[in-house]
A and B are shown apart, each in its own frame.
Chain A
Amino acid sequence: MDFSIRAANVEDCKDIARMIVELAEYEKVADHVKVTQRDLEQDGFSKNPFFHGIVAEVPEQHKTKDGHTKIGYALYFYSYSSWSGRAIYMEDLYVMPEFRGKSIGKALMSKVAQLGLAAGCNQLNFTVLDWNKPSLDFYLSQGSFDITADMGYHCMRCEGEALEHLAQP
């Protein structure tokens, strides 16, 4: 199946917002999504964007039953390792279920890697849930390694009241 990958623009935010919710549903946490289309427009397409996106599109004749031609996306931002320098972090990678198995996910991830290398990055990092065996197997088969399992790094988060408290002068 033909597909194309290109940089996301502000008009894509509606479809990206739709697919963010679809991905959250797959991860069983759809009620966690607070970000709206408007947030994406402001945070991704202003002067100092918090993230960048790429979208995968299929031709009109392959659109979904709901009429969508934007059927996958990857959302990423630049980060930094104090040990190895510039890095790229892939926050989301998603392909609609009916378009899986056609290497679109792989193509999106490769594109993020390519963009990272072009920007001088030495690492592509992301997280995956330990029960998400299809994704974990996919990533490991592509040559990644599990830093949590191999090196013992734990992800930590402060939010809500704890974060408010921390930010008190």
Chain B
Amino acid sequence: MHFKLRAATKEDCKEISRMILELAVYEKMSDQVKISHEELERDGFCQNPFFECLVAEVHEEDKAKEGFTMVGYALYFYTYSTWKGRSVYLEDLYVMPEFRGKGIGKGLLGKVAEMGKKEQCVRLQLSVLEWNTPSRDFYAAKGALDLTDNEGWHFIRFDGQNLDNLANEAPKD
């Protein structure tokens, strides 16, 4: 099956938003999705974008049963390691179930790595749920290391009221 990978445009945000929700459903956390295509349009296509995005499209004759030709996406942004330097973080990688097994996910991942290489990034990082064996196997096959298992790294987060409380304690300028 032919597919095309390209940089997302502002007009793609409605489709990307649809697929973000599909991925959240797969991860059993659809109630966690709080943003819509409007935030994506604002935050991904402003002067200093918070993220970049690639989309995968198929031809009209291969479209999904619901009529979609946009069948996958990868959302990523640049980060920094004070040990190793410039890095890229893959926030989301998703291909609609009926289009899996055709190299689209691999193509998207490779394209993100290529974009990172252009920016002289030395690392590509992401997170994956412990129970998500297909994804864990996919990334392990590509040479990804599990830093949580191997080195003991844990993700920590402040959000909601706890984030507000923390910020309120900042020294006054």
Contact = CB atoms under 8 A, between A and B. Distances in A.
Interface of A: 4-5, 20, 23-24, 29, 32-35, 39, 43-44, 48, 50-51, 75, 77-86, 89, 91-92, 106-107, 109-111, 113-114, 116-117, 122-131, 136, 139, 142-149, 151-159, 161-169
B147 interface: yes
Contacts of B164: 117
A91 B123 contact: no
A89 B158 CA distance: 10
Contacts of A32: 83-84
Most central of B20, B78, B123, B136 by chain A CB within 10 Å:
B78
A162 B125 CA distance: 12
Contact of A114 (B51, B86, B170): B170
Nearest to B127: A153
B126 A85 contact: no
Contacts of B75: 80, 82
B84 A159 contact: yes
Contact of A83 (B20, B43, B171): B20
Contacts of B110: 166-169
Contacts of A127: 153-156
Contact of B43 (A86, A111, A129, A153): A86
B1 interface: no
Interface of B: 20, 23-24, 29, 32-35, 39, 43, 48, 50-51, 75, 77-86, 89, 91-92, 109-110, 113-114, 116-117, 122-131, 136, 139, 142-149, 151-159, 161-171
A139 B156 contact: yes
A153 B155 contact: yes
Contacts of B155: 125-127, 146-148, 153, 155
A117 B171 CA distance: 15
Nearest to B29: A83
Contacts of B130: 152-154
Nearest to A36: B85
Given A43-B86, A77-B80, A111-B171, A155 B143 contact: no
B124 A158 contact: yes
B144 A156 contact: yes
Nearest to A76: B80
A130 B43 contact: no
Given A158-B113, A166-B109, A91 B80 contact: yes
B114 A85 contact: no
Nearest to A19: B82
Given A80-B91, A125-B155, A110 B83 contact: no
A35 B85 contact: yes
Contacts of B81: 35, 91
Contacts of B43: 80, 85-86
Contacts of B78: 50, 77
Contacts of B136: 154
B146 A156 contact: yes
A125 B148 contact: no
